[in-house]
Every structure is written in C-alpha cells, then in structure tokens.
Amino acid sequence: MGQILLVRHGQASFGADNYDQLSDTGNRQSRLLGAHFRERGLRFDRVLLGSMQRHAQTLEAALPEAASSAEVVPELNEYDFHGLVACYLEQYADVERPARGDARAFYRVLRLALGAWADGSLRDGVPESWAGFQQRIRRALGAMTADPRAGQVLVVSSGGAICAVIREVLGLTVEQMIMLNLQMANTGVSRMIFKGDKVRLQSWNGVPHLDHPDTEELISYT
C-alpha cells in the first residue's frame, strides 16, 4: 500500500504581470510545509511536480534536497484559467469584467467559465479542450501510481489539477469538482492511498503546518 501526498503550490502572484511565481507569503508557506514534513520524519520515494514555475519554487522552498531528483510531469499543470476567463468574457459581453487584482470577482467569473468549459458551451479560443484536460489528468494519476515499489509519493501541482484528480478517484460531478477547486488552500495537502491502480482519498486540503495562532494569517487561496 502506497501513500500519495498531493500539495497545491504556495501562494502565487495574483494580479501581477506574472502570476506564475510565488509571493513572499507563498515562500513562507512552502518553507513551513517542508519543516512540517521533516518534523514528521517523512521520506519520499518519488517526487513529482508539474512544469510550472510555481510548482518548482514550492518544492525548492519546502524540500530543496528533493528538487534535483524530482520527476517533471507536465500533465500535472493547471488549466489556463486566465485564458478560460478571457474566452468567457469575450463570449458573454454582458458579464462584468473583474477589476485587476480583485480575486473575489475574478473567481466568480472563473466558476462560470469552468462550467461553460465543461458543458461545451464555451466555444471560441479555448486554450485546451475539456476532454483533453480530462485525458491528461488521467495520465497524471497513472504517473503517480506507476511505481508499485514507491511507498511514499509527493506530488506538487495546482488546485484545479488536484481537484480533477480527486474527481477521477471519487467519481464527482463537475460542479462538485469546481466547488472543491475554489476552496483549495495554498500548500494544502490531500492524502491518497494506492495499491496498483486502485486509489482512495483519505483526506483533503489540510494545512496543519499553518493551522496555528502564529501562522494562521498565512492561510490563503490564490
């Protein structure tokens, strides 16, 4: 029986020209996560991460000793949420544009865009098809369980990709996946166990490394 720990990246730079880099808060979250793993004596047989900068920076801040040997799996990358929102706003011109840096307004539109993407009503300029996204998430899940000898597997990815993996494991609806996605905490940890290609979810989105009066202000969702 193997264990997979799925980690969402640390807080990225929402509202900046380059979202795909950790903020100062994201670096602090990641370092605290690494300290938590070391305190628990966790040793990982395999470490996988997506190819995005925020994934690599999260791993480097948390477990620098694991960064050089980690396996880069592009299937673990996030969907292009900025692209999806742009397509949705282009198609539905009556929807109010969120102001730059207004995360709450942006995620309201993103929820609508994700639903339209999944049901096929988002038509022109979609950066990735919904079917294509589902297929690569299944490949990502297969990559996580590919080595039956690995007892402890660490995966660093993004909220949407992680919740899509959980959807595959639990058979969730798209709406349920979207609801989970929009509640994912930065450096939130979800735990799965696997034997062969059989995978079960044990826990979701925990932040024990931040859930303390001295650090709870670091809990974030971007």
Same domain? For 92 and 122 the reply is yes
Taking only the tens of pLDDT, the chain with its 222 residues reads 899 999 999 999 988 888 899 999 999 999 999 999 999 999 999 999 999 999 999 999 999 999 989 999 999 999 999 999 999 999 999 999 999 889 899 999 999 999 999 999 998 889 999 999 999 999 999 999 999 899 999 999 999 999 999 999 999 999 999 999 999 999 999 999 999 889 999 999 999 999 999 999 999 998
CA distance 103 to 95: 16
Same domain? For 156 and 189 the reply is yes
Same domain? For 94 and 146 the reply is no
N-to-C CA span, the chain: 33
Distance of CA 63 to the CA centre of its chain: 18
CA distance 44 to 90: 45
Cα–Cα–Cα angle for 60, 200, 189, nearest 5°? Answer: 30
Alpha helix (H) residue ranges in the chain: 24-39, 53-62, 64-67, 81-91, 103-119, 130-144, 159-170, 174-181
Same domain? For 110 and 178 the reply is no
Same domain? For 74 and 86 the reply is no
pLDDT for the residue numbered 81: 93
Same domain? For 140 and 62 the reply is yes
Question: How many domains, in total, are found in the chain?
Answer: 2
Determine how β-strand 71-72 pairs with β-strand 198-206.
unpaired
CA distance 211 to 87: 37
Same domain? For 69 and 143 the reply is yes
Q: Do the beta carbons of residue 190 and residue 6 sit within 8 Å?
A: yes
- Assigned token pair, 193: 């166990």
DSSP 60: H
Matching residue, tokens 């865009």: 113
- Assigned token pair, 76: 């673990």
CA distance 119 to 110: 14
Domain residues for the domain of 26 are 2-78+136-218
- Residue 45, classed as helix, strand or coil, is coil
